[in-house]
Amino acid sequence: MASHHDCWQCGTPDAGSLFCRYCNSLQAPTPDYYVFLGLPRRLAVDPAILQKQFYAMSRMLHPDRYTRRSEQEKRYSLEASSILNDAYRVLRDPIARAEYVLREAGFEIGEQRSKDVPPELLEEVFELNMALDELRAGDSEVLPQLQESRHNFKLMLARIDSVLEEHFQRHDGQQDVASRRAVLEQIRNVLHRRRYISNLVSEVDKQLSSRNA
């Protein structure tokens, strides 16, 4: 969806989303990553298409191309380059992309709190925390248990990522806003669980690294 505005340079209505279709002057860039990149608002993004668009726009928007242009276009070039880099960084990562779409749709993401243990993980988390406490106290006999826990949690993350991909496809296939929001709600819940497990893996890695240092 292109944005509609008057060109700041020639004043022509409906100038276009990035370059004026009449005088070709660079316009104020939209902060919407999908609109900016000219991509459909989908959760399943083709990495090759995203990369191709990124490189093409990087060449078009590089500040060196605007050294002899107006101060306004120089400023817009810097702004556009910054948005482009942020958009590419976010949209190429499935998790960051999902969180971006959720935020744009008005969903609260929030920080993961350590006390928010998913109910189905209570036993595993309890045993893991016990083992970590023992390791911190100097008991190296729990190392095999921690390695096994890390392996199991990594497998959980892989399964969750597969579930997310299925949700992405379901979201993109919905035709109405209500149905898409229902899938987004499910995605948010899956991301919440994924974030918690990812934090557990990071904590185990941290303790194992400090043990080997």
> Rounded CA gap, 57 and 50, in Å?
11
For residues 85 and 125, membership in a common domain is answered with no
Angle (nearest 5°) at CA 132 between 129 and 134? 110
Using only the alpha carbons of the chain, give its radius of gyration.
23
Among 27-31, 62-66, 143-147, 170-174, top mean pLDDT goes to 170-174
Q: Is the pLDDT of residue 115 over 90?
A: no
Q: Which tokens sit at 50?
A: 């995203």
In this prediction, residue 2 has a pLDDT band, given cuts at 50, 70 and 90, of very low
Q: What is the pTM of this model?
A: 0.85
Residue 110 lies in a domain: no
* DSSP at 19: B
In this prediction, residue 111 has a pLDDT band, given cuts at 50, 70 and 90, of low
Residue 82 lies in a domain: yes
Q: Is the pLDDT of residue 212 over 80?
A: no
Domain encompassing residue 198: 119-212
> Whole-number mean pLDDT of the chain?
89
CATH code assigned at 55: 1.10.287.110
pLDDT tens, 62-73?
A: 888 999 998 999
Q: Into how many domains does the chain fold?
A: 2
CA quadruple 210, 211, 212, 213: dihedral sign: positive
pLDDT of residue 6: 86
Residue 32 lies in a domain: yes
pLDDT of residue 114: 54
pLDDT of residue 23: 87
For residues 123 and 44, membership in a common domain is answered with no
For residues 18 and 53, membership in a common domain is answered with yes
The H-assigned helical ranges of 2-142 are: 33-37, 47-61, 71-91, 94-104, 122-136
Q: Is the pLDDT of residue 162 over 80?
A: yes
For residues 87 and 125, membership in a common domain is answered with no
When pLDDT is averaged across residues 54-80 and rounded to a whole number, the result is 92
Q: Which residues contact 162 (CB under 8 A, 6 or more apart)?
A: none
pLDDT tens, 11-51?
A: 888 766 788 888 888 998 999 999 999 999 999 999 999 99
For residues 73 and 123, membership in a common domain is answered with no
pLDDT tens, 85-98?
A: 999 999 999 999 99
